[in-house]
Structure 1
Amino acid sequence: MLDICKWGADSGDQKMKSRYYPHIDKAKVFGDHYVRDFSEHSRGVAVDVSLLYARTGKPVDMGGHHDLLDPSSATDSTLVTPSQRRNRMILKKAFEKQGFANYAPEWWHYRLLNEPEPALHYYFPVWDGMASAGEP
């Protein structure tokens, strides 16, 4: 998480703006809580997920990629099509049924409700397999 905090403090680094925060100022990435220095991920109780079609393995259209820091990424956003919103609600219902809560600004982010150790934080390397798997 330290690397992302370092990146956030560098207002000159705008390399990822068009992909990850095209409609917001970089200063708002932290200010609007899209990114935090400690999150449910650092406690090991959150996952970022999406849906795939079982037959093809292709992603379901959720109206934007995960980690798109944008108002349209809100789970119940009306800035996406009704079909995309319905897909988000399918994901939300499935995870809520299993004891997870959605972080409303991010359709992909789910946190375990019954956290065993809410004050405990872990530090470990994270691999973003999506980037290697051909995510656009």
Structure 2
Amino acid sequence: MTLSWADVTVRLMKAETQRFRRSAIAALLMLAGTGAAGAADFVALRDIDPSIVQAMHYATPNNFTGKPVAGYENGECLVTRPTADALAKAQEKLSARGLTLVVFDCYRPTQGVQDFVDWAERKDLDTEPAKRFYAPDVPPNRLFQLGYIAHKSGHSRGGTVDLGLAEIGAKVAIGPVPATGDCRDTAATAGVRDMGTSFDCFDPRSWVGAKGLSKAQRANRKALTDAMVSAGFKPYSKEWWHFSLAAGDAGTAFDFPANAASLPDATGE
């Protein structure tokens, strides 16, 4: 659906909740300048390389918020076309070694980013099993200060992805939040290679240069990083799973649902 400036302005004026105002503002940004062209450049990763495994945690309750995240309707990886092409290049390199990429998160609607912020501002976080697993030693009042939660994300611009590795043919599955252990010793995604922590582990052990990893864990991280860097991605020092492609950044933070049916066509409609 294409919104005119008048349509969005009316929605903004009639907005009764803070979240609806944020969505209306995001729609205004989408209409501005390069916004429409950037949105039209998004694709479903499965249409570019269906061999890449998808385990999209935020479409399920099995993530650090303990519930499906706003804007994740079908658990589908959407990225800009340059990002998808680069991922296919990394996948080709890994498949020669019998490995496959496993994507945990791709495009993130801005309403999903706000969901993270709302979660981090809750007063009862320490009572939540998901928080205990994913952020076992982080006081709730330091989630922003330590950089684990942010008010903006490169994911919303389509050029950033979170991912791990698995052997080709492995049974990859998103499991429930474990009742015992935490993200430093237990993976939240079955079938993936051991990287020393689970995806989304809020702990220094997740840093690229973390100490105390086994030889196999270091080798797995290196295999992932080497493949991604060779395809043009830049790693993030505090999250082994996080990579961004500068050439794949659409330049605008979008808020359409993470669902291929919501993608604009080539004309931006």
TM-based fold match above 0.5: yes
Which of these residues, 85, 90, 96, is aligned with residue 229 of structure 2? 96
Separation of aligned partners in 1, 2:202 and 2:151: 16
Contact map agreement 1:64 1:73 (CA 8 A) in 2 = yes
- Distance between the aligned counterparts of 1:96 and 1:89, measured in 2? 10
1:6 aligns with 2:6: no
Of 243, 249, 252, which aligns to 1:110?
243
Look up the match of 1:122.
254
Any conservation in 2 of the 1:46–1:112 contact (CA below 8 Å)?
A: yes
The 8 Å contact of residues 159 and 247 in structure 2, kept in 1 or not, is answered as no
Q: 1:23 to 1:82 in 2, by over 3 A?
A: farther
Residue identity matched to 1:7: W
Shift in Å at residue 105 of structure 1? 0.5
Q: TM-score, normalised by structure 1?
A: 0.83
TM-score by length of 2: 0.44
Higher deviation after alignment, 87-96 or 20-29: 20-29
Higher strand share: 2
Structure 2 distance, partners of 1:19, 1:125, is: 27
Gaps of 5+ in 1: 128-136
Instruction: State the Cα distance separating 1:27 from its structure 2 match.
Output: 2.1
Deviations for 1:66-95, whole angstroms, at most 9, x for unmatched residues? 101100001221132222122111101110
Percent identity of equivalent pairs: 30
Are 2:196 and 1:63 aligned? Answer: yes
Alignment partners' CA distance in 2, 1:67 and 1:48: 9
**Looking at CA atoms only, which structure, 1 or 2, has the larger radius of gyration?**
2
- The structure richer in helix per residue is 2
Q: Per-residue deviation at 1:10?
A: 1.2
- Contact conserved, 2:195 with 2:220, CA < 8 A, in 1? yes
Give the corresponding residue for 2:146: 32
Using a 3 Å threshold, how does the CA distance of structure 1 residues 25 and 79 change in structure 2: closer, same or farther?
A: farther
User: Which residue is 2:217 aligned to?
Assistant: 84
The answer as to whether partners of 2:207 and 2:237 remain within 8 angstroms in 1 is yes
SS of equivalent residue, structure 1 residue 32: coil
